[in-house]
Copies of this chain bind each other. A is one copy, B any other.
Amino acid sequence: MPRYVDHDARRDLVAGVAADLVAEEGLEALTVRRVAQAAGHSTTVVSHYFADRRDLVTSTYRAAAARTSARFDAALAGARARGGDPLQACLEALLPLDDERSREWRTWFAFWAMAVSDIDLAAEQDRRVQSARARIAAVLADEQAAERVRLPADGSTADAAYRLLVLVHGLGTHAAFDAAHWTPQRQREAVAAELAALRPEGRQPSQTS
């Protein structure tokens, strides 16, 4: 059904453009008119893809989340191929270490602000967090099997993953407002310090990448 594939692909493309727009100018800029302008389409075309502004907001959020997930997977695959530290690499993929990711973090703030009073968007946000948590837990389980990670006897990979995600969100939030302090190097060191606590004793923490 190429027609539908084409429809979905275009819809994703427009949602990606919308995500950029939110990162640059905030959620207020996320209107059918502005998105149409930025995507080089007519408002009729954009209205055809998105039922209403709410649909546009949720789709934009998903587009931004999909980008982050893809970066996470790529970082993980890269670290494994290079013999790097998979945990450090995939957590760094989530942090605002460059312009693209700093822009992405501005998008999250915009969505969080909206999600606190929008139950559907809050559910979407929770799904995204649980998905990230499951991905990190899977890496933790692999690392544990390879004896490069040791969790406390009463600790699950799911809980440890959540702790790491709390660190990522804390760092991302602070880095957005105090980039002078939270340089990429300091963010990497904070992740490395947190991971060092999970290493089996006697094992040196991996170098930050």
Q: Measured between alpha carbons, how far is A106 from B113 in the docked complex, in Å? A: 7
Report the nearest B residue to A23, measured CB to CB: B116
Q: How far is the CB of A170 from chain B (nearest CB, A)?
A: 3
When the two chains form their complex, are residues B106 and A110 in contact, meaning their CB atoms are under 8 A apart?
A: no
Tell me how far the C-beta of A167 lies from the nearest C-beta in chain B, rounded to whole angstroms: 6
A125 contacts the other chain (Cβ, under 8 Å)?
yes
User: Is the Cβ of A125 less than 8 Å from the Cβ of B174?
Assistant: no
Q: Are A166 and B165 in contact (CB under 8 A)?
A: no
| A122 is an interface residue with CB less than 8 A from chain B | yes
Assembled-state Cα–Cα distance A116/B179 (Å): 12
Separation of A171 and B171 alpha carbons in the complex (Å): 11
Which A137-186 residues sit within 8 Å CB-CB of chain B? Answer: 162-163, 165-171, 173-174, 176-178, 181
Give residues in A with beta carbon < 8 Å to B.
24-27, 106, 109-110, 112-117, 122, 125-126, 129-130, 162-163, 165-171, 173-174, 176-178, 181, 190, 197
Given A106-B116, A126-B177, 14 new contacts (CB under 8 A) = A109-B109, A109-B112, A110-B113, A110-B116, A122-B177, A125-B177, A129-B177, A129-B178, A166-B167, A166-B171, A168-B170, A169-B170, A169-B173, A170-B173
